[in-house]
Amino acid sequence: MQAERGQHHRSVEVLASKLRRRQIVGSRTAALETLVVLRQVVSRARFSNFEQLVEIIRGVGRRLVEAQPKEHSVGNTVRKVLHHIREEYQTAVGQTGPQAGTSTSGFSISKFVLQGQPRRHVPAQKTEVKTTLKEDDPEDPDSFSKGLKPVLMEAIQDVLDELETVYDNVSKNARDHIHPDEIILTLGRSKTVETFLKTAAHNRHYTVIVAETGPSYDGREMAKSLSSAGISTFLVPDSSIFSLMSRVNKVILGAHVILANGGMFAITGSLIAATAAKAHSTPVVVCAGQFKLTPLWNLYHEYGAVDFGNPSDVLGFNEGELVNKVDVVNPYYDYVAPEFIDAYITNDGDHPPSSIYRLLKETYDDEDNEL
Amino acid sequence: MASKNAASGKEKLIDEEQEILQAVVLADSWNRRFRPLTTKKPRCLLPICNAPLLDWTFESLALAGVQEVFVICRSYSEQIKDAIKKSKWSRTGSGMKIVPIMTAKETYSAGDAMRDIYTRGLVTGDFILVQGDLVSNIQIDEVVRVHKERRKTNKDAILTMVVKEAGVQHRTRSRGDSPIFVVDSETSECLHYEPSFAFPKKQHANIPREVLAEHKEVEIRYDLIDCGIDVCSFEVPSLFQDNFDYLDMRRDFVHGVLTSDLLMKNIHVFVAKDGYAARVQDTRSYESISKDILSRWTFPLVPDDNYPGSERYQHTGGNQYVAKTHPATISRTAKIGRNTLIGASTRIHDNAEIIASVIGPNCTIGAGSVIENAYIFEGTTVGAECRVTRSIVGSGVEIRDGSTVERGSLIGDGVVIGPGAKLKPFERLSVPWKAPASTAGSDEDEDEDSDIEDIEASQDTVDKASLGPESNAIVWIDKPPEDDDLDSPENYNNLKYMRLGEDDVTLDVHHSDKDTESVVSEEQQLQDSSDEEDNYDDHTDAESVVSLSKDTQGGLMADKEFRSEVNQSLERAFAEGHSVDNAAVELKTLRMASNVPLIRVKEAVVAAIVEKIPVLEGAAEQRTEVNKTIARWGQLINKIGGVDPVETISLLQRHISTSARMSLFGQILAAFYQSDVVEEDDIRAWHSLSTSQGIDLPLGEERENMGKAWIVGALMIHQLDQQSDSEEEESDEDEEASD
C-alpha cells in the first residue's frame, strides 16, 4: 500500500504545496481541486478490500489538511467523498443495514442517537459480499477494485456536480427570502451571496447596502458587480454599519466555515455587522454551500483560527518608522457565534443554527471527523 | 516536474512558449559579516526563525513557480549539498529541481560566480538570480513576465532589479549599503546607480547631466530596499565573462553597464508594491527580518503557515509562536512577551522572561533569566539568572548561571561562558579553531584559517576574566585592518553600521574613540540624514558644476595627445574608407581611454573633417568637394554621442576662424544643412548666441574671422527666411558674401 500511495504522491503533493503557499484560496476552489485530486487517486488506486480504499483516501485527506489546516473545505470534501463511497459500496454489495431505513425517513432524537453510533455492518459484510463483489480475493486481488471503481467514480462525480451547482442551488429560493423594497446589508465579496442577490433581483426590486469591508475592500468589487446587474446598490464605509442598521431589513452574510455549534467564520467585519444587527433585532441570514459545514465544535478557541494575515494591508511597508513600533493584527476572519445568526441558507435547504449539528450527522460519517 | 507543468499550464499558454523557469542562487556571501557564527558553516545555513536561510530562499522561489534551481556554493559546499539532499525539496512532488553547483575556491565574488555560470552553460534562457539569504513573498513570476514583455520590444533590456519601497528609516533597509536609484518614471528604466555607504558618508550623489537632459521625468530614490532579486537575460553571464573586472553585482555590473557607452544595454527596476523581500546581508538585517517574519510581513511565509522548516508552530496572541508537534515545556511562571518564537522541545524554567526573541529547538532557559531581542540557535543552554540582550547565540552554547550578554554580541557554536561572565557590548566569541579542526575539514578555506590563527595568536593580550572561569572561548578583537578599502562596503567603520544592536545612540558612544575626525563627520551626517532627501537637489546641482570644471581641466591636459590620436584615427578612417559607425565606435573608445569630455572629441572631429576638404581653385569644383566630404563624414559628428548641432556650428566657426579654409565656412555650413547634420533652427540658435560674434575675443584675425563667419550665418538665415528654394543660389550668394 505504501507503493500505491507513492504513485499519487505527486498530484497530492502539488496540491498540498499550492494550498500551503496560498496559491489556491477560497473554499470552493479548494474543494474542487481536492475532488480532482481524489478522483485521480481513486482511479489509480489498487486495493483489494474496502478498508484499504478508505485508508488511501484518508491518507490523502490527512496530507492535504495538514498542509493547510485553515482551508476546512478540503477536509470536508474528503469526508463527503468517504460518506458517498460508503453509501455506494453498501448498495453495490446489496447490504441493508439499519441506516438504509433511517436515511430516507425523517429525523427524530431517538433515531439520531441510533445514527450517532458507529456502523456495525463491517463484520457482517463478509458473508454477503460474495454474491457481487469479492474482497481479498487471493486469485485476483484486483477484481474487487475493478468491480467497485465505476461506482466510486460515480460517487465522486456526484460530489463534484453538487459543488458545481452549489451557487444555483443556494439561490434557488432567493425570492422567498428577499421581499419587495427591502433594504439588505451585506459585506465582503462572497460568490454565494453575490449569486443569491442577483437571482433574487430577477423577481424582486430591492436595495443593497454593501460595506467596504476593510482591509481587503472586497465590498467595493461586490458593489460594482451588483450595481452592474441592475440592483440599486450603496457602498458605505464600515464605520457606518451601525448607524445604518436601523434602516436595514436583513443582513445577508457569506461564510468561510460553518461549525457544528451553529457558529461560523466569515470575513472580518461580519461580527460587527452581526452585533449591530442583534442590537437592532435585524435578522442575520448566512448563505453558504454545504461543503462549508465542518464537524468541529470549538475551533474558535484556537487563536490562530481567524487566520492572521499580512500587516501590509493595514499599514504600508513604506511607513518605515511605524513598522518598528507598531504591532499590527490583521485577522482575515471573524468568528460569529450562533446566537447572532438566524438562519443558514444552504443548497440543502434552510436551517437554523441549532440544527447544524444534525445536518453534519447527515452529511458525514462520524468516524471521519478525525481524518 | 511534469505535473507542475500541467498545473501552471494556463500561465504558460499566455507566454506562448514552453520554457521552464530557472533560478540561480548564489549561496555565498563573499563577506564576513556574520563571523564567528560562520566559521564552521555557511551563512545560508544559519537558521532564521529556526529554519535555514536557504530554505526560506527556496520557498520564495517556489512561490514564483520556479522549476529548476542552481545553487552556486563555494565555502562549505559539502554542507550545503547535504542540506539540500536532506531537505524536503529533494522529495518527489516538490515541483522544484535543485542542483547544487560546486564552484572553485578561487571564486571570490559574485562576478566570478557569474563567469562560472557562463562557462558551465547552466542557464538557457531568462533566469532569476537571487542571493542565498533571501526571504521574500513577492510574486517573482510577475516580474519575469514584465521582463519578457519588455524584451519583446527592447532587446537591450537585459536585467530587471526588484526593489521594495520602504522609507529611509525602515528597520529592514540596510544602512551600510543603501544605494540611490535614478529611475525613469515612465519606463522604469534605471538610469543611474549610485552606491552609498554609511561610512564614508556621501554628501552628494553624482548624477550625470545626460540623465536629466534626456528624460522627461526622473525619480531619484533613496527609500528602496534592494531585494537582491534580479531577473536576468541569458546574456548577463556573458557580459560578466567579457568584463573580467566586474566583481559585485551592483557596484560593478549595474554601475558598469549604465555608465558604459559601448554596451548600450538597459537595466530596469521593478518597484514591488505588494509583497515582501529582503536579504539577510548583515547581523542588523538578521534581526529586522526575524522581526518581520514574526510580525507576519512575510505572510504566508510565517511559522504557523507556509513555514519552510519541518516543525509546526501554534500562533497565539501577540504573535507568539510555540512549537506544536514537539511542544516546548514552559513554566507557568515564565513570561513570554510579544513577537516570540519558541522551538521544539525547548524548556523554559520558572520566572524566565522571553521578550521578542527567537529560541531554537532543544534549548534550556534557566530560572529567572531574561532573554530580550536575542536569537538563540539549537541546543543552547542558558543558566539561571542570566541576561541576554540583542545578541545572536550559536548552537550548543552554554551560558552558565549569572552571566550577562550585552547587546550586539555574537557567540559562536559550542562556546561555554560563565558562570558570572560579563560580556562587553559587541563582543564576538568562538571556540578555538584547533580543537575541532580535525572534524570540520579545516583545509576548506586556507585564508579563513589564517584569519582565525591571527585571532588565536593575539589571545594573550586579551583579558579573559570577564568570560567567567569555565569559559573555553577565544575573543575576536575588533580592530580596524591596516588596508581598509573605503570604496567597499566592507570597510571597518561601515561594518559597524551593519551590526546587530548598533543604533544611532551607540554610535555616539564611539565618539570617544581615537578616530575622532571621522566620527565627527559621522555625527553631522546622522543629524542631517533625516532631511537628506530634501537637500538632494542642492547637492546634485553643486556637484554637477564642480565636475564640469574638473572635466575641462582634465581635458586640457590630455588635449594635445588626444588631438593627435583622434587625427590619426580619423586619417586612417578616411584613408581606409571605414563606415561612419565604425569610426564612431573607435572614437568613443579613444575618448574613454583618455578620459576627455565629449566636446573635445567633437572639436577634433569637426577640425579633421574641415581640414580634409581640399582647397581647389574653381568655385563649382570646390563646392562639389565640400558636399562630397560632408555627405560622407558629416554624420560622424552626431554619431560620436551627445547630439548638439548648435555646439557643432560654434565649433566649426571657431576652428575655421583660425584655419586656412576660412573662406569655405558658408559652403560647409550649407553642406551641414544639406546633409541634416544641422537644422535651420540650430543655425538660428547659434546665430543668436552672444559668443558667436566673437566680440569677447581679443582683437586680431581670429576675432575678425569670427565676425565674418557670423555675418555669413546672418546672410544664410536671411536667405532661409526668404524661402529661397534653390540650393544653387544660396551657396552662390554665400560665396559672394565670404569673398
Long-range contacts of B207-212 (CB under 8 A, 24+ apart): B207/B182, B207/B540, B207/B544, B208/B259, B209/B544, B210/B642, B211/B182
Q: pLDDT tens for residues A30-57?
A: 999 999 999 999 888 888 888 888 999 9
Amino acid at B439: T
B143 belongs to a structural domain: yes
B279 and B327 in a single domain? The answer is: no
Which pLDDT value is given to residue A292? 93
B296 belongs to a structural domain: no
B116 and B236 in a single domain? The answer is: yes
pLDDT confidence bin for B670, thresholds 50/70/90: confident
* pLDDT over 80 at B414, yes or no: yes
- Map grid coordinates 490523502 to a residue: A60
Contact of B277 with B170, CB cutoff 8 Å: no
All structural domains of chain A, each given as residue ranges with its CATH number in brackets, are 2-164 (1.20.120.420), 170-368 (3.40.50.10470)
For a pLDDT cut of 70, what percent of chain B falls above it?
83
Last residue of a domain, one of B476, B492, B519: B476
Beta bridge partners of B321: B315, B341
* Torsion sign, CA atoms A186, A191, A194, A195: negative
DSSP run (H or E) holding A183 = strand A183-187
Which pLDDT value is given to residue A3? 42
B522 and B578 in a single domain? The answer is: no
Contact of B384 with B366, CB cutoff 8 Å: yes
CB contact under 8 A, A320 and B315: no
Alpha helices (H) along chain A: 2-20, 27-44, 50-67, 72-92, 98-104, 109-116, 121-129, 143-164, 166-171, 174-177, 191-200, 218-228, 241-244, 270-279, 320-325, 356-363
B136 belongs to a structural domain: yes
Kindly compute the dihedral angle of the four CA atoms of residues B275, B279, B285, B291, in this order, to the nearest 10 degrees: 40
Long-range contacts of B442-449 (CB under 8 A, 24+ apart): B444/B75, B444/B76, B445/B75, B445/B105, B448/B39, B448/B75
Q: Which three cell numbers stand for residue B178?
A: 543603501
| Residue A19 to residue A68: CA distance in whole angstroms | 6
* pLDDT over 90 at A13, yes or no: no
DSSP run (H or E) holding B213 = helix B209-214
| Residue B48 to residue B33: CA distance in whole angstroms | 16
Which pLDDT value is given to residue A334? 92
B507 and B434 in a single domain? The answer is: no
B593 belongs to a structural domain: yes
Q: Which three cell numbers stand for residue B682?
A: 540650430
B483 belongs to a structural domain: no
Q: pLDDT tens for residues B96-109?
A: 888 888 888 778 88
A25 touching B (Cβ < 8 Å): no
B493 belongs to a structural domain: no
CB contact under 8 A, A317 and B95: no
Interface test with A, best of B63, B164, B170, B294 (most A CBs within 10 A): B170
| Residue A308 to residue A317: CA distance in whole angstroms | 17
Which pLDDT value is given to residue B401? 92
Residues of chain A positioned with their CB less than 8 A from the CB of B291: 324
* pLDDT over 50 at B10, yes or no: no
- Name the minimum distance, in Å, from the CA of B301 to any CA of chain A: 8
Which pLDDT value is given to residue B696? 67
Angle at A71 between CA A67 and CA A74, to 5 degrees: 80
Average pLDDT over residues B466-488: 80
Q: Which residue of A has its CA nearest to B294?
A: A327
CB contact under 8 A, A10 and B173: no
Please provide the DSSP assignment of B242-272 as one string.
Answer: H-TT--SIIIIIIHHHHH-TTT--EEEEEEE
Which pLDDT value is given to residue A319? 79
CB contact under 8 A, B305 and A9: no
Is the model more confident about B395 or about A136?
Answer: B395
CB atoms near residue B185 (< 10 Å): 11
A215 touching B (Cβ < 8 Å): no
pLDDT confidence bin for B700, thresholds 50/70/90: confident
Contact of B109 with B478, CB cutoff 8 Å: no
B509 and B591 in a single domain? The answer is: no
Beta bridge partners of B395: none
Q: pLDDT tens for residues A149-182?
A: 888 888 899 999 999 999 999 999 899 999 999 9
Which pLDDT value is given to residue B439? 41
Q: Which three cell numbers stand for residue B506?
A: 551607540
Which pLDDT value is given to residue A137? 64
B74 and B200 in a single domain? The answer is: yes
Is the model more confident about B734 or about B401?
Answer: B401
Rg of chain A on CA atoms, in Å: 23
Residues of chain B positioned with their CB less than 8 A from the CB of A9: 92-93
Q: pLDDT tens for residues B575-606?
A: 887 777 888 888 777 777 777 777 777 788 88
* pLDDT over 60 at B726, yes or no: no
* Torsion sign, CA atoms B25, B31, B34, B40: positive
- Map grid coordinates 520556479 to a residue: B66
Contact of A291 with A76, CB cutoff 8 Å: yes
B495 belongs to a structural domain: no
| Residue A307 to residue A26: CA distance in whole angstroms | 13
E-strand ranges in B402-444 read 404-405, 410-411, 416-417, 428-430
| Residue A101 to residue B636: CA distance in whole angstroms | 98
Which pLDDT value is given to residue A111? 59
- Indicate the number of domains in chain B: 4
pLDDT confidence bin for B355, thresholds 50/70/90: very high
Which pLDDT value is given to residue B434? 61
Average pLDDT over residues B555-559: 52
Q: Which residue, B54, B56, B22, B1, is CA-closest to B129? A: B22
Q: pLDDT tens for residues B160-195?
A: 999 988 877 788 888 788 888 999 988 899 999 988
pLDDT confidence bin for B527, thresholds 50/70/90: very low
CB contact under 8 A, B171 and A323: yes
For a pLDDT cut of 90, what percent of chain B falls above it?
21
B347 and B269 in a single domain? The answer is: no
Highest mean pLDDT among B197-201, B244-248, B615-619: B244-248
Which pLDDT value is given to residue B350? 94
Q: Which of B3, B297, B306 sits opposite A10 (nearest CB)?
A: B3
Which whole-number Å values give the CA distances from B302 to A20, A33, B28, B50, B341, in the listed order? 11, 24, 25, 11, 11
Angle at A313 between CA A311 and CA A314, to 5 degrees: 70
Which pLDDT value is given to residue A304? 84
Q: Which three cell numbers stand for residue B83?
A: 542540506
Q: Which three cell numbers stand for residue B116?
A: 562560472
Which pLDDT value is given to residue B520? 37
* Torsion sign, CA atoms B438, B439, B443, B448: negative
Which residues 6+ apart lie within 8 Å of A113 measured at CB?
A: none
Which pLDDT value is given to residue B723? 59
B570 and B511 in a single domain? The answer is: no
Q: Which of A308, A321, A330 sits opposite B169 (nearest CB)?
A: A321
Average pLDDT over residues A259-288: 95
Interface test with B, best of A302, A306, A318, A321 (most B CBs within 10 A): A318
| Residue B520 to residue B535: CA distance in whole angstroms | 20
pLDDT confidence bin for B559, thresholds 50/70/90: low
Q: Which three cell numbers stand for residue B427?
A: 563582543
CB contact under 8 A, B173 and A320: yes
Is the model more confident about B642 or about A213?
Answer: A213
B315 touching A (Cβ < 8 Å): yes
CB contact under 8 A, A14 and B300: no
Least confident segment among A111-120, A164-173, B255-264, B666-675:
A111-120
In three-state form (DSSP H/G/I as H, E/B as E, the rest C), the secondary structure along B4-53 is HHHHCHHHHHHHCCCCCCEEEEECCCCCCCCCCCCCCCCHHHCEECCEEH
| Residue B676 to residue B630: CA distance in whole angstroms | 10
Region of B166 (left: φ > 0; alpha: ψ -120 to 50; beta: rest) is alpha
- Three-state DSSP class for A287? strand
B141 and B249 in a single domain? The answer is: yes
- Three-state DSSP class for B109? coil
Average pLDDT over residues B656-673: 79
Residues of chain B positioned with their CB less than 8 A from the CB of A21: 59, 62-63, 300, 306
Give the ipTM of the model, two decimals please. 0.85
| Residue B388 to residue B397: CA distance in whole angstroms | 13
| Residue B192 to residue B208: CA distance in whole angstroms | 8
Which whole-number Å values give the CA distances from B230 to A194, B22, B150, B236, in the listed order? 41, 12, 15, 11
Rg of chain B on CA atoms, in Å: 33
| Residue B405 to residue B320: CA distance in whole angstroms | 23
Average pLDDT over residues A57-68: 91
Q: pLDDT tens for residues B51-84?
A: 999 999 999 998 888 888 999 988 888 899 998 8
Residues of chain A positioned with their CB less than 8 A from the CB of B55: none
- Three-state DSSP class for B128? strand
Strands B392-393 and B410-411: parallel
B306 belongs to a structural domain: no
B569 and B587 in a single domain? The answer is: yes
Which domain, by its residues, includes B511? Answer: 500-528
Task: Specify the CATH number for the domain of residue B176.
Answer: 3.90.550.10
Residues of chain B positioned with their CB less than 8 A from the CB of A17: 62, 93-95
| Residue B609 to residue A262: CA distance in whole angstroms | 92
Q: Which residue of A has its CA nearest to B278?
A: A317
- Map grid coordinates 488506486 to a residue: A45
| Residue A100 to residue A94: CA distance in whole angstroms | 11
B623 and B588 in a single domain? The answer is: yes
Which whole-number Å values give the CA distances from B688 to A45, B674, B677, B705, B711, in the listed order? 89, 21, 19, 17, 12
Which pLDDT value is given to residue A79? 93
| Residue B446 to residue B458: CA distance in whole angstroms | 19
Q: Which of A304, A320, A323 sits opposite B304 (nearest CB)?
A: A304
Is the model more confident about B549 or about A83?
Answer: A83
Contact of B221 with B167, CB cutoff 8 Å: no
B221 touching A (Cβ < 8 Å): no
Give the mean pLDDT of chain A.
Answer: 85
| Burial (Cβ within 10 Å: 0-12, 13-18, ≥19) of residue A89 | buried
Is the model more confident about A1 or about B93?
Answer: B93
* pLDDT over 90 at A238, yes or no: yes
Is the model more confident about A247 or about B248?
Answer: A247
- Map grid coordinates 554624420 to a residue: B635
Q: Which residue, B10, B96, B7, B87, is CA-closest to B52? A: B87
B252 and B278 in a single domain? The answer is: yes
B63 touching A (Cβ < 8 Å): yes
